[in-house]
Amino acid sequence: MKMEKTLAVTALLCAAVFTFCGCRSVDAAAENKEKKAMNMQDVYQFLKDAGVYYIATVDGDQPRVRPFGTIHIFEGKLYIQTGRKKNVSRQLGVNGKTELCAMKGDEWIRLSGTLVDDNRREAKVSMLDAYPSLKKMYSPDDDNTQVLYFKDATATIYSFSHDPIEIKF
């Protein structure tokens, strides 16, 4: 009788573990499907929701990091905005490779790629329309407004609660 109870308890425990593991496998499969579905729009939304991100450049052999807030999609490309008079613009002109980082809730994102200058008026207008408060300092027709888009970009979203999610665009 004692042996039957032990076997029954063992069977119940195995069933519980199997069910738990089975559910985790289903969740992992759903999570992997979600990962594949993520794209540049998701990166944009993450950065937009975060509000502030930190962008890194290189100044000679010295890394430089500063907060930014502009992020915009124009003609299917992810853009940022700065002023040509700023050091960040000069640094990106020498080496367009950059990385930015932001945190939202229990997740953080790292986005690396090459920033390409887009001096077209329509790109500047689109950015300034998305951020009307910048119109006090910038104009699409001034020599200072600079918009840049990401080329060969890789974003990775990290969390302590899920595997990293990589998005290339």
What would the DSSP string read from start to end of 70-113?
--EEETTEEEEEEETTSHHHHHHHH--EEEEEEEETTEEEEEEE
Reported pTM: 0.79
Q: What is the pLDDT of residue 3?
A: 35
Residue 167: what residue type? I
Q: What is the pLDDT of residue 16?
A: 35
Determine the topology of domain 39-168 in CATH.
Answer: Pnp Oxidase; Chain A (2.30.110)
Q: Find the length of the chain.
A: 169
Q: What is the pLDDT of residue 18?
A: 31
Q: What is the pLDDT of residue 36?
A: 54
Which residues on adjacent β-strands are paired with residue 68?
53
pLDDT along the chain (169 residues), means of 10: 38 34 40 65 98 98 98 98 98 98 98 98 98 98 98 98 97
CA dihedral 129, 133, 136, 138 (to 10 degrees): -50
Query: Using CA atoms, how far apart are residues 134 and 73, in angstroms rounded to an integer?
Result: 17
Q: What is the pLDDT of residue 22?
A: 38
Q: What is the pLDDT of residue 37?
A: 75
Q: What is the pLDDT of residue 61?
A: 95
Which residues on adjacent β-strands are paired with residue 148?
80, 117
Which residues on adjacent β-strands are paired with residue 59?
62
